[in-house]
Amino acid sequence: MNDFPILSLLVWLPIAGAVAVALLPRHLAKVTGLGVALATLVIGVVVAASYELDGGTQLREEHEWIEAFGVHYALGVDGLALLLVLLTVLLVPLVLGAEWFKSDAEGSAGARAFFAWALALEGLSLAVFCATDVFLFYVVFEATLIPAYFLVGGFGREGRGAAALKFLMFQLAGGLILLASVIGLYVVSAQQGTPSYLLSDLQDLDIATGPGRWLFFGFFIAFAIKAPLFPLHTWLADTTEKATPGTGVLLVCILDKIGTFGMMRFCLGIFPEASQWATPLVVTLALISIVYGALVAIGQDDVFRLIGLTSLSHFGLITLGIFTMTSQGNTGAILYMVNHGLGTAALFLVAGYLSERRGTPLISRMGGLEKVTPVLAGLFLVAGLATLGLPGLSPFVSEFLVLMSAFQYAWYVGAIAITAVVLAAIYVLWMYQRTMTGPTPPEVEGTKDLGVREIAAVAPLVVALVFLGFYPAPLLDVSNPMVGDLMQQVGVHDPAPTVEHAGNETEEAH
């Protein structure tokens, strides 16, 4: 397996599948697209089975690409990349199944286009997570915008064109800032010998304090837009409101993870000193995102806009976990990326089924479906409870670790962050109450409950939420070695526990 380019196969299969789907007749295109997504899932499982739980980057592929600039076609996976690869290959076939008929809606670009763009986004996202050369990462980082733009602009509700353009402008601005830092890394590496964009070489560079901090901000701003983080988040709610539920899953649960992935992989990995220096600012922005996102979500009437704004709060928690610079915080952040993807994907898809049956995404015009569609109501409740971090569902483990690290950082940081738990309970339970409970209106009597295909698209997510909620060990086993390596690279250690003595004196435990 070490000699077989399995990561290249993982990346290029969905991209080749996207081209094939675009050229096939509509019905054959849908079957082929789903088949390619399932085949990519199988390859992702093989990659996971080949991964050894001892940390470090594995399954490496490295070929010289542009020798003069030190650019390589280099792929590899560590614990963080592997978990996001598995999340991606799981979600895409579920989205294609959920959008099987809706992607053919009148006024849309058609199922063939949706399936092709979704596969293209999958392949490019996998390339982002596997890239171990910064220049290659930048190229595929920017390339993901092409399918994402057409998925938002070609499918969904009226006003989607403006939302797609706003999304693109924000992302391109972040990409231009990132490009400046990528060029800066070339200059720094060339000054210290042979230029190289390999992550392993860049981590060994001795970058001066001033240039390092400027380069850090170039990376961080691009990732804060992608994640998103306050105040660079304003594209998020517009996009999730106007796009289809499936596109919302692809953007929020896969594409936006590139932001927090990049913070760990590049900000902490290449600029450890600058990351520690910027921590107070980043923690402040994360806390604002946590509270602001949750408060604004409470007042939303559009269910998809509400879900988008809850993700602003959750990405604030992920960023907070990363920049507390503790093993608990970083482990919690990694688990949060995965568990947020599972829970929010389920919430988006079930909300899509709900709005389709009521003919509106407005919560104020819903209500009373609980009795006539019990399966829909039950899955909506489980997805909502996962979003608020109910114990027994996997997001709780992530949230607990992040909040623990927040209190270790400073008691007041933890106190502010923990308000997210209360606010999440408000927006989730109030949303459920307004959409599902109350008297059943005459017009929804006889509404069909979820069918087999619809349940099949959500059931794997619910099973994963419950299983990983009670048994998170598979995620921890993969993430812990990577977090240990990252903490060593950054040069930080977990705070030593303290013990209380009589006389109110405290000392560090040795």
Q: Tell whether 147 is covered by a domain.
A: no
Residue 53: what pLDDT?
A: 83
Q: How far apart are the first and last CA of the chain?
A: 45
Q: Tell whether 280 is covered by a domain.
A: no
Query: What is the Cα–Cα distance from 376 to 454, expressed in whole angstroms?
Result: 10
* Predicted structure pTM score: 0.90
Residue 435: what pLDDT?
A: 86
Query: What is the Cα–Cα distance from 272 to 269, expressed in whole angstroms?
Result: 6
Question: Which amino acid is present at 472?
Answer: P
Give the three-state DSSP class for 1.
coil
Query: Judging by beta carbons within 10 Å of its beta carbon (0-12, 13-18, 19+), is residue 61 exposed, middle or buried?
Result: middle
Residue pair 341/254 in contact by the 8 Å Cβ criterion = yes
Residue 509: what pLDDT?
A: 46
Query: What is the Cα–Cα distance from 89 to 91, expressed in whole angstroms?
Result: 6
Q: Tell whether 350 is covered by a domain.
A: yes
Q: Tell whether 360 is covered by a domain.
A: yes
Structure tokens at 188: 């720094």
Q: Tell whether 366 is covered by a domain.
A: yes
Residue 23: what pLDDT?
A: 87
How far CA 46 is from CA of 82, 85, 89, 322, 464, in Å, comes to 11, 12, 12, 29, 19
Q: Tell whether 223 is covered by a domain.
A: no
Q: Tell whether 217 is covered by a domain.
A: no
Query: What is the Cα–Cα distance from 429 to 381, expressed in whole angstroms?
Result: 8
Which DSSP string do the residues of 8-70 spell out, in sequence order? HHHHHHHHHHHHHHHHS-HHHHHHHHHHHHHHHHHHHHHHHHH--SS-S-EEEEEEEEEGGGT
Residue 365: what pLDDT?
A: 83
Q: Tell whether 506 is covered by a domain.
A: no
- When divided into structural domains, the chain yields a total of 1
Per-residue pLDDT of the chain (510 residues; tens, 9 = 90+): 567 899 999 999 999 999 999 888 877 888 899 999 999 999 999 999 988 887 688 888 888 888 888 888 999 998 899 999 999 999 999 999 888 776 555 544 578 888 999 999 999 999 999 999 999 999 999 999 999 999 988 887 788 888 889 889 989 999 999 999 999 888 888 887 788 888 888 888 788 888 888 999 999 999 999 888 888 888 888 888 888 888 899 998 998 899 999 999 999 988 888 988 999 999 999 999 999 998 998 888 888 899 988 888 999 999 999 999 888 899 999 999 999 999 999 999 999 888 888 778 888 888 778 888 889 889 999 999 998 888 889 999 899 999 999 998 888 999 999 988 889 888 888 888 888 887 777 777 777 888 888 898 899 999 999 999 999 999 898 888 888 888 888 777 767 655 555 445 445 444
Domain span at residue 304 reads 292-493
How far CA 17 is from CA of 23, 37, 121, 145, 330, in Å, comes to 10, 8, 11, 18, 35
